[in-house]
Amino acid sequence: MGRDRRIVWFLGNDGEDWKMKYKDSGVNIEKAKQAKSAMLEHVRKTWTPEVLSGPGAFGGMFSLSGYKNPVLVSSVDGVGTKLIVARMAGRFDTVGQDLVNHCVNDILVQGARPLFFLDYIASGSLNPGVVTSIVEGISIACRAQRCALIGGETAEMPDLYHGEDFDLAGCIVGVVERDEIVDGSTVLPGDRVIGLPSNGLHTNGYSLARKIVFDKLALGPCDRVDELGCTVAEALLKVHVPYLDAFSRLSAVAKIKAMAHITGGGIADNLSRVLPRSCEARISKGSWPVPKIFDFLQRKGAVDETEMYQVFNMGLGMTMVVSPEDEKRILSSFKTGMEIHPVGEIVAGEGGVILV
């Protein structure tokens, strides 16, 4: 005879059978359903005729047509600890826009235009109102950038995130014709670097900025800073600028040889990624206006200038490399209506960037 097989029932203090439900572990499926139902209206607003899947599908389907030799370009990213500022301010629609615009810019540097987007929101305790506000922001940016929001995931994981803490990430897929890929391979000494302005921190450097503003200065998100002309939250939650429309206008009159989205690592680390090994860029500090927020952070935090340029974009959100002739053409074509700054030149070197 083998061992006796017995089923053991755990009994509560009252003698009744002890039963557990999923929500007892901190996960509330009903709240997730409410959030998904509320966000659907915002999701549908982004759909184009190419979207083939409907609500509830396990995967988003998108029909690609109209291209001769298409190359798909994808990227995935988040918005970092800017989420903490959003939570402190109780405003969540801007970080959804940040997420989309950041991802759009990342694939834009290779000449790709966005096709569709997917989001991922993970939280300790799901707040349907917060999730809906985030997705509303994602929808606003997707519509502005002509990008369909075709799927996503909302996860409640109380053992990984504390309370209503949450993380936000997104995946974008775009397309470019093979012969229109921007890869920096034709960059030569003598080419020029032009810059498009940022409106502030965008989505990088917030760990340092928060320590200066909230820890050292003991400011709150609603406190007004006179030298910035706005509250702390308004300064730190400015929406990441998208550059798709600017690229479309510039590429209509000039050949863009290389582009760099200025994110973590600043101008030097990002621009060097798109230069040939035989070239380096000399960037002239002071050739573009630096938003007041950067001077404020540097002075109040006693941050070294080298550190500032390594951590923050310092007022340049996107840099482009063009020929000297195309730089002249661009500057004459867009004297008004678009802020463009000649910020440097390409010289023979070893693929680096020098700030002078």
Paired with 342 in beta bridges are 194
Same domain, 209 and 349: yes
User: What are the Cα distances from residue 332, in Å, to 197, 259, 335, 338?
Assistant: 18, 20, 6, 11
The closest of 160, 264, 87, 311 to 95, measured between CA atoms, is: 87
Same domain, 224 and 329: yes
The closest of 159, 61, 37, 53 to 115, measured between CA atoms, is: 61
Q: SS3 of 334, please?
A: coil
Same domain, 251 and 342: yes
CATH number, residue 96: 3.30.1330.10
pLDDT tens digits, one per residue of 287-304: 999 999 999 999 999 999
Residue that terminates a domain, selected from 132, 149, 179: 179
Give the range of the structural domain holding residue 249, as residue numbers without chain letter: 192-355
pLDDT at 159: 86
Query: Does residue 60 fall inside a structural domain?
Result: no
Same domain, 271 and 241: yes
Mean pLDDT across 129-152: 95
Query: Does residue 346 fall inside a structural domain?
Result: yes
Which comes out higher in pLDDT, residue 21 or 287? Answer: 287
pLDDT at 7: 41
Query: Does residue 1 fall inside a structural domain?
Result: no
Mean pLDDT across 260-272: 96
Residue that terminates a domain, selected from 128, 154, 179: 179
pLDDT tens digits, one per residue of 320-340: 999 999 999 999 999 888 999
1 — pLDDT class (breaks 50, 70, 90): very low
Give the chain's domain count.
2
Query: Does residue 16 fall inside a structural domain?
Result: no
- How many CA atoms are closer than 13 Å to the CA of 287, on its beta-carbon side? 17
